[in-house]
Structure 1
Amino acid sequence: MQPMNIESSVWARNGVRWKRPGPVMAERRFLFFSISRIFLLAILAIFLNGVTLFFMEAPAVYAKSRYLINRNTLDHLNREGLPEKLVQSMAPLLEKVFPSREAFLKVLGELEVPPRAPLETDIILRYSAMDQITIQAETFSSDQISRESIFKGNVQGKIPRENILFSTAKLRMLIGELNSYERLIGEGGIRVEQWDREVRGDYLNYTRVFDNNSQDMQNPTPVDETLKLEGSVQISAAQGKARSSTLFLDLLNQEAVLEGKSAKGSERVRIEAYPDRLSKGAEGQTTTDPSTSPAREIVVQAARASLENKKRRIILEGAVEMQRMPEDFFLSSGILQLLYDEEQMLTEANARQSVCIEQPGRVARADLARVDELKQTIRLEGNAEVDSGQYNLQGSQINLFLDVNRGVAQGDGNAPIQMTMKMGGEFTPAFRCR
């Protein structure tokens, strides 16, 4: 690849000319279009809120900035501490593009609750501007024929609109003919930071595809938008952390998939969540008093974890294990489905394929199990068996309370329970889950 010729540097959508890189650091700016937010909820309300990474478009060094408010924008404004009524008053402006700063400021002034202080206005402008991201690197080259640009050496970037910082060893940008697609490939030492969240990996591939038959040159709408991270992927936030071999995000459909190297031991996906913590800026806060209540922790391992945010569910597959502390609740199964509500709180867990549940003083197993977080009950179905220090229960269907001390089991009119009483002695389970 030859260095870009400054005399023929017109490239891509906006036809903007580049300046020759300086001798030490090459800095370039690109027009940034907002990405749909994706949530990898905490297993049981985890964190991966907005691993909304970044998107870089064709060079637009002198492009005039536009403004857009989306759901991400409102979240950022809440994190910055703007008045709740002011943020709520912006809802009617969602997904509307304003062609200039003047047009945007005029609409802000007409809100039911307009910004009252210059600082509030500045914060809104920062998170609404569809302006440029900055990329710095030690070297930069561009090939006009192949429509490819390469940044090498300590590559660093910043996206003010999303409060994102990123870095990598090498960054490639490719633009398809007629702007049919845009691709960003990062190699080596991938690191992305946003608020209290951080994602690391070895390789990154971001792709956005357009329908050229209906593409709006000023505000194109993608028909496909995906992001894939590979190689020792690590995700951390105040609310928890995760590791996997790959992370795949479908940004338009709000779906995510984490995959481990295999279904064996430490090669599985591992997710640790701390439900008591709330994210606020770069600090983690707790909802309980640690001096009077032990901190809750949830650890989940599986060969594969997938999130379907529109359906509010997470599906874990392959040698699934889930442990909840401090109650020491352990569940293993082949498949585990977690359902959550609008507040991202777990409402139900459905397990199948060799389900086994272990709690202090009780073990249970069945073909299927349903844990109802609202009713605090466990429903076992198919070859169900429960063993404790006082009794052994068997039946096609058994209902239990999550609290072992309540220990009430109920059968069904069509599913009687066989009970064997145990007399004295210490609890020795008839089977174990781990």
Structure 2
Amino acid sequence: MRCSVRRSSNRCYPNIEWGVSVSDKKKWDLAALATIPLIMTLANSMLIPVLPLMQKKLSITPVQSSLIITVYAAVSIVCIPIAGYLSDRFGRKLIILIGLTIAAIGGIISGLGAWLLQEQGAYFVILGGRLVQGIGAAGAFPIVLPLVGDMYRSQQQISSGLGMIETSNTFGKVISPILGSALALMVWFLPLAVIPLFSAISIAAVAYFVKVPKPKKQKKESPAGLGAFVANTKDNLKQNRWLYAIFAIGGILMFVMFGFLYYLSSVLEEHYHIDGIWKGLVLAIPLCAICLSSFIAGKLVGENKSKMKWFTVIGAALLTASMLTCALVNTKSMVFLISLMFAGGVGIGFSLPSLDALITEGVEKEQRGTITSLYSSMRFIGVAAGPLTASALISHEEWLFYLLAAVALLCCVVGLFGIKPGKKKKAHA
């Protein structure tokens, strides 16, 4: 056995010849980046099953408790495009590290507020900490997508990498209700307090492992000012109108996913009397479908942009069929209901990595951060609107599922006629 050493960024990586290739270093980069969507998802979704407990401990109303989730998503929607612009101008890795640090600070504020204060005083400090955390989240996960596009030249690697990122994001949703419930059994505010620890692990992994490609020496132009940058972004959107289709589908898929998850959560508790960790385990079933199908889709689409389009359309069609069946058929049989939700999850999982790959590959590197951040903002809007709409229609479940089926069908139509992949770009030397 022969062992050599390759050097990158003043660090040595052993290269032992038993099947390890030079590209294995990139696997560590990707693993480090995959911690970001996992942790940012946990920071929000982990609190959902413990909101009723927080209501009692803080003596707040259901609306006030929902703001603990809403303020995180709302401030992220506003800040994501700003973070994208800054990442294009000052570098992805720097903005990600700053975002993770801000998220950790927000977690510390919320955790200390819950520990040291009581009731309303604790609530407002927790809310302030969550707002800070949302600002940090805007500079973390949304910037990962363009960074993966920057790191790889091969579309096959980009698609596979984005599939891994979406898998990590969904895996966070799978374990969050279970982990949140388990932590709250020990100390009610522990789901708030552990986020700084998780963020610190991600900061260390990104700082050490992620090596951002250096720009070419001949490109030593000073970054464009904000006015020129906005004009360039408008130009880019005008020349690539298919991006609007990607934005719309991404937002709608999140709307449907969080809408049916809210419905499932309510039905499990009210109709089947399942709560706590058991409820988290049942909710994890459709989320596992999204997680697994995201990973598979990321591997299968490869460099074929036509495949990306059709995976999106077929995934949306499967989602439409499952939601329409829920509307037409009595879904009070739990096995049948979970099976339909599982099928819908597979449809969502097929679509998401394909959308990520299309938008990442279809935009020039200089604008990639901003465009993908606009896409992430649309997804956050779906996240915020899904549960709100489902709660308003929860007593008319047929109409809820007709609505979810209709917007999923809209995804099919928009994907079919709005996504125009074009020809594959030649790789730059």
Q: Which has the higher strand share?
A: 1
Does 1 or 2 have the higher relative contact order (CA < 8 Å, sep 6+)?
Answer: 2
Name the TM-score class by shorter chain. under 0.3
TM-score (norm 2): 0.25
TM-score by length of 1: 0.25
